[in-house]
Amino acid sequence: MAANSMPNPNSQINQLTSEIFSILENNFLFGYQNSPSPPPQTIKSVAGKIRILSIDGGGATEGILAAKSILHLESTIRRISGDPNAHIADYFDVVAGSGIGGVLAALLFTKGKNDRPLFTAGEALMFVTKNGARLCRSSKLRRIFQHPAKLFDRTFRDLTLKDTLTTVLIPCYDLTTGAAFVFSRADAMEMNGCDFKLSDVCAATMAAGRPTTTLSVDRRTKIAAVGGEFAMNNPTAAAITHVLFNKQEFPYCNGVDDLLVVSLGNGELASMTGGNRTPSRTVMVKIVGEAVSDTVDQAVSMAFGQSRKNGYVRIQGNRGLLGDSDEKKVEANDMLKQHNVESVLFQGKKCNGTNMEKLEFFAGEILKENDRRKTNMLPVVLLNQTTTSSSARTSSATTISTISSN
């Protein structure tokens, strides 16, 4: 009898899935405010909001735009909080990054000396600015400059996913299984076969041309990785899904009303096709990646509904407003001064303040959440600190089918 009285976790997951799809159906087909029947009401968490930072894969400037946005966000947090030593990693519970966004996530959310972040936002910006030629997609430049894998080895040494400060999600595409593979701190803590060196993680999510063979620390997991931009150029939806289904670490998160999401793009492509000339394969990959990123942004924005004003922001440069693509630093500053464009699927786009103003507003919201947690007895995040099992977790982000015993 006692066993029959235990709650069925599968039924809870199915109920949550049903609610998510019901909300999406109402929002996508009818629009949030014009829905013929109101979406089901989720119970707002009494614990607080989960703060998510999502960083796109490479755009026209290979990470400069996103890095500049992060620097402005960190600088604003330092100014408002009065803490000159505040790091971006202190104020986010989850970070997801694809391609160059994954490299930025690793730089900013990995433990350095005294368990503080390895890089500040300013240092991360200098890293991508200085090493842009090594990290770019051009195979010709990679033959001229040192391969980025060696750069990552020097930067991260023997640090692994277990050495990150919070929940980290970095995707690539595994040619072995023909599916996306997400490097996840949560999975690394639960399964030894999912812990990877961060240098290998960055090389995998930046892989271009030929696949990069990537082995877990215990050598039980082997993947043939190509870049994260092929898998999910905009990882925002993957991060939200991970949080909603990961009840081990986010037990009180019931829906999008319990999320605070900052999604950073890397700028839309400038004209790279040369008029009517057929685009190269590299350009086509970038076009597809950016088109998917826009779709993800619009879908997530609609899913937030009325909550998106205070719960979700997308920072993205807009084509035609950025200036010369060779002047990356100027371009990044111009992007922050641009009008912030809010996109809603089937409802068009509208401008609402500038990107800089949006970042500053959300910095305030992030600090409000930080202050609220100081007086709340309920933990918002239960971050796993030890490896507990060699079996798969139900909320795993990775493709578990690639794990095998030697």
For each of the chain's 406 residues, which pLDDT tens digit applies?
A: 444 444 554 555 555 556 655 655 555 544 444 444 444 444 555 678 999 999 998 754 668 889 999 999 999 999 999 999 999 999 999 999 999 999 999 999 999 988 899 999 999 999 998 887 677 655 454 444 456 788 999 999 999 999 999 999 999 999 999 999 999 999 999 988 999 999 999 999 998 778 899 999 999 999 999 888 888 889 999 999 999 999 999 999 989 999 999 999 886 654 444 555 666 666 666 666 677 788 888 888 888 887 888 899 999 877 544 444 444 444 566 788 888 877 666 666 677 788 999 999 999 999 999 999 988 888 889 888 766 554 445 444 555 444 544 4
Number of domains in the chain: 1
Q: 296 with 324: CB under 8 angstroms?
A: no
- 14 in any annotated domain: no
Question: What is the SS3 assignment for 288?
Answer: helix
Give catalytic status of residue 396 as yes or no: no
Half-sphere exposure of 92 (CA within 13 A, CB side): 29
Q: What is the CATH number of the domain that holds 239?
A: 3.40.1090.10
Residue 263 lies in a domain: yes
- Classify residue 85: in a domain, yes or no: yes
Contact present, 310 and 304 (Cβ < 8 Å): no
Q: Is residue 213 part of a domain?
A: yes
Name which of 231, 209, 56, 198 is nearest 142 in CA terms.
209
Residues 6 or more apart whose Cβ sits within 8 Å of residue 42: 19, 254, 255, 257
Question: Cβ-count burial of 13 within 10 angstroms (0-12 exposed, 13-18 middle, 19+ buried)?
Answer: middle
Catalytic residue among 45, 54, 69, 98: 98
Domain holding 226, by residue range, is 50-270+281-316+326-375
Amino acid at residue number 171: P
Whether residue 2 is contained in a domain is answered as: no
**25, part of any domain:** no
Whether 398 is in a domain gets the answer no
Indicate whether this model's pTM tops 0.85: no
22 assigned to some structural domain: no
